[in-house]
Amino acid sequence: MNQVEVPKELIEKIYKLIESVKIDGKIRKGTNEATKSLEKGEAKLVVSAGDVSPKEIVMHMPVIAKEKSIPFVEVPSKSELGAAAGLPVGTSAIAIVNEGDAKKQLFAVVKDLENLHKASEKGSEPKEVPKVEEKKEAPKVEKTVEEKPAEEAKPEAPKKEAPKPEKPKADEKPAEETPAKPKDAEEKK
């Protein structure tokens, strides 16, 4: 999923929305709580911080949000996100579960996000095509590097597994050439 650069005006709108919702609505704070709200489908909007380190902490959230059709946005600062949510420390993510009296604000922010995503999809399609091609080419290079050592090892394996039949020595007679003596001949002697 591609991230869209959010304009500063919209980021400020999002922070104001969060400040309004914390007064008479319900917010889930932190990655774990926001993820639970996403998975349950109860979140109305999920906001994650862009300066979270390591990124793997919040990477799953846009994917879940897309699956559940829940609006998702990334803001630049976890300290500002935490301050907007009324926390003395920064937070990596929040989920708005109940917007309270800020219903119109939430609707306006979600509409702005939808318009932003639609505009970026139209403009970013040509940019995404080369990225996909690069990703397809990279594994091919890795496979050819891996196949070369495997091919070099293959000729050695049949030599070990399939030994050549041994030739009888000159002074030994093969077992097939000596005729079997009939039992009657042995008994007569």
Question: What does each of the 189 residues of the chain score in pLDDT, given as a tens digit?
Answer: 446 678 899 999 999 999 999 998 999 999 999 999 999 999 999 999 999 999 999 999 999 999 999 999 999 999 999 999 999 999 999 999 999 899 999 999 999 988 888 887 776 543 433 333 333 444 444 444 444 444 444 445 444 555 555 655 555 555 555 555 555 555 554
**How confident is the model at residue 61, as a pLDDT?**
95
Cα 7-45-102 angle, rounded to 5 deg:
90
Query: Which H or E run contains 73?
Result: strand 72-75
Q: Please give the helix or strand (H or E) that residue 93 lies within, else none.
A: strand 93-98
| The pLDDT value given to residue 117 | 81
Hey, what domains does the chain have and what are their CATH numbers? 8-129 (3.30.1330.30)
Local structure of residue 175 (DSSP, 8 states): T
Query: What local confidence, expressed as pLDDT, does residue 82 receive?
Result: 94
Strand 93-98, strand 45-49: pairing: antiparallel
Q: Comparing C-alpha atoms, which of 3, 27, 5, 4 is closest to residue 15?
A: 27
pLDDT at 119: 81
pLDDT for 150: 46
Whole-model pTM: value is: 0.62
